[in-house]
């Protein structure tokens, strides 16, 4: 919201976030997915009237279209009004509007709406997977904190300039992206021409699904793939030895927001480890409450289902840093 629209979200039930979440929910809803598949296979169904039995997916699509329209429109108008009144924070939409005398507003609305949709749940999924992994692996938390304390100290938070000097934190980031990729089956693609791949004929127009999940679980490349093991990304000297991050896809359609995703997730990981300890939550009798690391939604973007864990400031210095930073 801030990058695209210069809009600072201050509370959980924010009006624009709410709208965007409703629109995204509609896109990921089963009725929509099934309807899209049915209409792709049987295109004549696009023309059946909405009142017909079995056309529920069409009614759902029509209702959702309105929410999607508002998600594109409302925050865009917020930026336009700010520009007209001569105030507002710098953001991508205002930059794009100012970039030409006759800006194509429809394209700008789409760019901003798609960026929000593509950025929000993917980053959230990775951050929640990281949180679960830390609650389950206190030794990993400790190793990161030793590294951060040595390089950054406890008087400030890690910044991007520290990144090169924090290889273990980097390995944790890479392992989070491998262990629980946010879009396990990537986005479906269609081949534009007949093709042959390793002896398989792929006809023009066929849908191709890249199974990122399987690739990140290849035991020849990642032994014991289900284990959360940042060390697999480090060589004997403790330097990063594997530069591949499969979670952003690959080829010409690789995620164009990967630099922003990378910066967001890394900063969250480095900064939260600098100031917080993570542990399993405890029940009323003091027993640790387990986290089911396989309990994810099965939508296009896979999010961990709600889980409990304990996140506490590490020290007095950490409390000071938390309260003095935005």
User: Which CB sits closer to ligand HEM, 87 or 197?
Assistant: 197
State the Cα torsion 268-294-280-261 to the nearest 10°: 0
Distance of closest approach, residue 81 Cβ to ligand HEM, in angstroms = 23
Token pair 């990775």 is found at 126
Rounded distance between C-alpha atoms, residue 151 and residue 159, angstroms: 11
Token pair 């105030």 is found at 87
Query: Which of 124, 112, 44 is closest to 78 using CA atoms?
Result: 112
Tokens of 177: 């992206």
Residues 251-270 interacting with ligand HEM (rule: CB under 6 A): 253-257, 260-261, 265
Query: Nearest residue to ligand HEM, using CB?
Result: 257
User: Which CB sits closer to ligand HEM, 139 or 192?
Assistant: 192
Cα of first residue to Cα of last residue in the chain, in angstroms, is 16
Burial letters for 230-240: b for 16+ Cβ neighbours within 10 Å, e otherwise? Answer: bebbbeeeeee
Burial letters for 53-66: b for 16+ Cβ neighbours within 10 Å, e otherwise? Answer: eeeebbebbeebee
User: Which CB sits closer to ligand HEM, 146 or 254?
Assistant: 254
Binding mask 69-108 for ligand HEM (x = CB under 6 A): ----------------------------------------
User: Which CB sits closer to ligand HEM, 15 or 187?
Assistant: 187
Stretch touching ligand HEM by CB under 6 A, among 25-33, 160-168, 245-253, 268-276: 245-253
Residues 178-197 interacting with ligand HEM (rule: CB under 6 A): 182-183, 186-187
Characterize the bridge pairing of strands 195-197 and 189-190: unpaired
Site membership for ligand HEM, residue 142 (CB under 6 A): no
Site membership for ligand HEM, residue 27 (CB under 6 A): no
Q: Given the rule CB under 6 A, which residues bind ligand HEM?
A: 114-115, 118-119, 122-123, 126, 182-183, 186-187, 247-250, 253-257, 260-261, 265
């Amino acid at each position: 919201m801030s990058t695209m629209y210069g809009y600072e979200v201050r509370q959980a039930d924010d009006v624009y976030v709410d709208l965007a979440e409703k629109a995204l929910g509609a896109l990921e809803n089963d009725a929509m997915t099934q309807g899209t598949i049915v209409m792709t296979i049987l295109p004549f169904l696009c023309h059946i009237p909405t009142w017909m039995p079995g056309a529920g997916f069409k009614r759902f699509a029509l209702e959702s279209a309105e929410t999607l329209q508002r998600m594109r429109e409302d925050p865009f108008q917020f930026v336009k009004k700010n520009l007209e009144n001569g105030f507002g924070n710098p953001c991508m939409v205002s930059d794009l509007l100012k970039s030409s005398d006759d800006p194509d507003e429809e394209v700008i609305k789409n760019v901003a709406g798609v960026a929000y949709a593509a950025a929000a749940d993917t980053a959230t999924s990775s951050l929640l997977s990281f949180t679960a992994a830390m609650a389950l692996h206190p030794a990993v938390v400790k190793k990161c904190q030793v590294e951060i304390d040595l390089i950054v100290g406890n008087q400030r938070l890690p910044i991007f300039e520290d990144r090169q000097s924090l290889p273990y934190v980097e390995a944790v980031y890479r392992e989070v992206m491998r262990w629980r990729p946010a879009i396990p089956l990537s986005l479906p693609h269609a081949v534009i021409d007949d093709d042959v791949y390793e002896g398989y004929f792929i006809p023009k127009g066929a849908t191709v699904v890249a199974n990122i999940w399987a690739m990140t679980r290849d035991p020849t490349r990642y032994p014991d793939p289900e284990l959360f093991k940042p060390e697999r990304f480090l060589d004997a000297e403790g330097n990063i030895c594997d530069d591949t991050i499969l979670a952003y896809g690959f080829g010409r359609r690789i995620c164009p927001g990967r630099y922003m995703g990378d910066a967001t997730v890394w900063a969250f990981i480095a900064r939260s480890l600098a100031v917080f300890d993570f542990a399993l939550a405890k029940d009323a009798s003091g027993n640790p409450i387990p986290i089911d690391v396989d309990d994810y939604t099965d939508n296009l973007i896979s999010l961990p289902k709600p889980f409990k864990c304990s996140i506490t400031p590490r020290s007095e210095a950490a409390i000071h840093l938390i309260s003095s930073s935005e």
